[in-house]
Amino acid sequence: FGSSASEIQRIPSFVTLNSDDISHFKGILGEKNVVLDEDKLDFANTDWMRKYRGSSRLLLLPRSTQEVSEVLKYCNSRRLAVVPQGGNTGLVGGSVPVFDEVIINMGSMNSIVAFDKVSGILVCEAGCILENLISFLDNQGFIMPLDLGAKGSCQIGGNVSTNAGGLRLVRYGSLHANVLGLEVVLANGDVLDLLGTLRKDNTGYDLKHLFIGSEGSLGIVTKVSILTPPKLSSVNIAFLACKDYLNCQKLLSEAKRKLGEILSAFEFLDREAMDLVLSQLDNVRNPLPSSKHNFYVLIETTGSDESYDKEKLEAFLLSSMESGLISDGVLAQDINQASSFWHLREGVPEALMRAGAVYKYDLSIPVEKMYGLVDDMRVRLGQSAKVVGYGHLGDGNLHLNISAPKYDDKILEIIEPFVYEWTSRHRGSISAEHGLGLMKANKIFYSKPHKAVETMASIKKLLDPNGILNPYKVLPHSLSSCT
């Protein structure tokens, strides 16, 4: 299930890999960076959810921009299709081949190029793992403007290519706001140096934005320049319970108003998400065990003045308790408790994976309407599956997940197209932060007008005329299969 390869035709203009191709790649990359080993290929062919699986026979590990350039130039001239791959943690089937596309994994390009301590601007290679960048910056007194549960495996190039949102977007904004420059290799091997390190630069079209969120369909990102905020000394985390969704929503408005500039995360999980985490993960416990609550909210504040921040947060919690917005709550007393609160929220995707089959939907919906979809989906599915809601409430981003013992077309028919129609009717987005990948390439019209999609297809044609970069993904197949 999931790969949809059975529903799509392999694009006939793509050639099949032969032994001369492999020799050529060995000439560019050296023997050991041209991987034919079956176990390694199996891993690279399979996505994080083990739902999408390709059948590539070749994994390439370039170590420099020059090597990426030579590889793409050759693939383009031969019409060999490729999949750019980072940490392979993507959740929409974008990071693995659909058929036999050559996998270009960026993990060997993992050096930090420069860090300017005055401006906080970091320049690094695309294959740097997010958690390694977080640790590097921590030593310098800075943080990354994004954080997410997959930080131990995902790469900054993958984050940029998916325009990953994550847990801090409410404070620092999206990667469109924080990425200052990129180096990108185009399909024909040309290197586009957009690696600026300036806050302001209005010299014409800002091309880097085209590549942020383009999911490997327009070029391979080889270097990233990113603005990093200073690490502030006072971080507080509260884990709260609300009796209904309306209270969560009101709590968000109050938090924005009363915590203002120190608010750095506002996440939520519903009772079903919490039950799954508690039943599926080891070493977790409910910090609010006295009774069952319908909703849990994690609020983080980050500021520079310990006593001022604490006073502000405590006053906010007290008034929210008195007004009945919060029914219970606890403030982390130390760093271990703080990370145990985060673990409950960040552990939801893993808990869902352990519970069985999962249908994942990543939606932007106006906050006041958002949970209505979860309620409606529960009514539709009845006892046939568990409906779980969690996500980045502060950004209006719902993760609607449906958990079932196994994948079943009958369940899928109840979910889709209802979920997309519902979202479109409420002027939401069918992809808030995960991208379209293979899963939603054909669903794009639910959230984008035809003219906009046609313009996207023209840009794709301009930058990748042979369509070799991540085919079958992002753009609807009707517009992308005629190369």
Please tell me whether residue 159 binds ligand FAD under the rule CB under 6 A. yes
List the single partner that 106 binds among ligand MLT, ligand FAD, none, CB under 5 to 8 Å by kind: ligand FAD
Burial 383-412 (b: 16+ CB within 10 A, else e): eebbbbbbbbbbbbbbbbbbbbeeeeeebe
List the single partner that 348 binds among ligand FAD, ligand MLT, none, CB under 5 to 8 Å by kind: ligand MLT
Cβ-based neighbour number of residue 177 at 10 Å? 12
**Footprint of ligand FAD on 50-79 (CB under 6 A):** none
The owner of tokens 């009958």 is 410
**Footprint of ligand FAD on 93-132 (CB under 6 A):** 94-95, 106, 126
List the single partner that 85 binds among ligand FAD, ligand MLT, none, CB under 5 to 8 Å by kind: ligand FAD
Please tell me whether residue 166 binds ligand FAD under the rule CB under 6 A. yes
Nearer to ligand MLT by C-beta: 157 or 349?
Answer: 349
Burial tier of 18 (Cβ tally within 10 Å: 0-12, 13-18, 19+): exposed
- Strand arrangement of the beta sheet that strand 295-303 belongs to: 328-331, 234-242, 295-303, 263-270, 386-392, 397-404, 357-364
Please tell me whether residue 394 binds ligand FAD under the rule CB under 6 A. no
Binding segment for ligand FAD (CB under 6 A), chosen from 25-33, 149-157, 233-241, 322-330, is: 149-157
Cβ-based neighbour number of residue 336 at 10 Å? 8
CA distance 386 to 418: 17
Nearer to ligand MLT by C-beta: 70 or 362?
Answer: 362
Enumerate the β-bridge partners of residue 263.
301
Start-to-end CA span in the chain (Å) = 27
Binding site for ligand MLT (CB under 6 A): 149, 348-349, 362, 391, 399
Contacts of 219 (CB under 8 A, 6+ apart): 184, 185, 186, 187, 192, 211, 463, 464, 469
Q: Is the distance from CB of 405 to CB of 61 less than 8 angstroms?
A: no
Q: What is the Rg, in whole angstroms, of the alpha carbon atoms belonging to the chain?
A: 23
Please tell me whether residue 221 binds ligand FAD under the rule CB under 6 A. yes
Binding segment for ligand FAD (CB under 6 A), chosen from 163-171, 200-208, 310-318, 455-463, is: 163-171
Please tell me whether residue 85 binds ligand FAD under the rule CB under 6 A. yes
CA distance 70 to 309: 53
Q: Give the residue nearest to ligand FAD (CB).
A: 158
Please tell me whether residue 161 binds ligand FAD under the rule CB under 6 A. yes
- How far is CA 28 from its chain centroid? 31
Site string for ligand FAD, 427-456 (x = CB under 6 A): ------xx--x-------------------
Nearer to ligand MLT by C-beta: 212 or 398?
Answer: 398
Please tell me whether residue 215 binds ligand FAD under the rule CB under 6 A. yes
Please tell me whether residue 477 binds ligand FAD under the rule CB under 6 A. no
Binding segment for ligand FAD (CB under 6 A), chosen from 71-79, 114-122, 189-197, 215-223, is: 215-223
Burial 239-267 (b: 16+ CB within 10 A, else e): bbbbeebebbbbbbebbeebbeebbbbbb
Judged by CB under 6 A, which of 89, 249, 364, 423 binds ligand FAD?
89
Judged by CB under 6 A, which of 349, 394, 428, 476 binds ligand FAD?
349
Judged by CB under 6 A, which of 54, 62, 145, 157 binds ligand FAD?
157
Question: Site residues (CB under 6 A) for ligand FAD?
Answer: 48, 83-91, 94-95, 106, 126, 148-150, 154-155, 157-159, 161-162, 164-166, 215-216, 220-221, 349, 433-434, 437, 470
